Amino acid sequence: MKTILSFLRELAANNNRPWFQANRSRYDEVRANFENIVRSLLVRIAQFDPTVAHLDVKDCTYRIYRDTRFSPDKSPYKRHLGTFISARGKQSYHAGYYLHLEPAKEDDNGEYGFNGCFAVGGTWYLPPKILKEVRMSILEDTTTFRSIVENAEFRRTFPTLGYELLKTMPKGFPKDFPHPEWLRPKVYSCGHELSEDFFLSPHWLDDLAHIFQVSKPFIDFLNDTIDDYDL
């Protein structure tokens, strides 16, 4: 992991094709190491979530190259490595487990407020119809949802629930609902920031798998609704 983060730190400072080509062999080694990590993580997650047991590494990983066509940032390479382990594949809306590896940057909140590496359980940017149905499920089965998100271990592991919150209740939902923070997220995910020291432990993969396991009831709740629409 030290080698992976060191390479990503240098890539962020030299995000151009000549540097990348000169260091291509290093990247190939980093990618191979990362794929081994994903392979080991898949085995661990499949022990508590058998729905992902059929996945291969290629089903869960992404290219290093950025799509710059519609971005003002023309840097050709991503500054991070990520894996999204979801039973229906990385392109689906089906909720799953995401690991983001990126060196921390000074005075930077990063994606969803994380500075550096993080683990996330959930999904990203559901289409409006599915997002509304997820909110309806929370509204109609508040007891089950509360039992998940107010569980003591869940709250310790994931202090923030949901990202990009609406300023007010979503249209069509009761304004007197006692937990508006459950209905206002645009992104239904729960996140856990990981320091670089986290990866120094000899059993960090087991610790990471446990973090994801804590998120599984939340993921299952989301997928009970998402899977009715994400066909």
Sequence ranges of the domains in the chain? 2-226
Q: What is the pTM of this model?
A: 0.94
| 162-168 LR contacts (CB < 8 Å, sep 24+) | 162/186, 162/187, 162/188, 162/189, 162/190, 163/112, 163/113, 163/187, 163/189, 163/191, 164/112
d(CA 57, CA 40): 10
> Residue 83: CB partners within 8 Å, gap ≥ 6?
34, 38, 41, 60, 61, 62, 98, 99
Per-residue pLDDT of the chain (231 residues; tens, 9 = 90+): 999 999 999 999 999 999 999 999 999 999 999 999 999 999 999 999 999 999 999 999 999 999 888 888 899 999 999 999 999 999 999 999 999 999 987 666 666 667 789 999 999 999 999 999 999 999 999 999 999 999 999 999 999 899 999 999 999 999 999 999 999 999 999 999 999 999 999 999 999 999 999 999 999 999 999 999 865
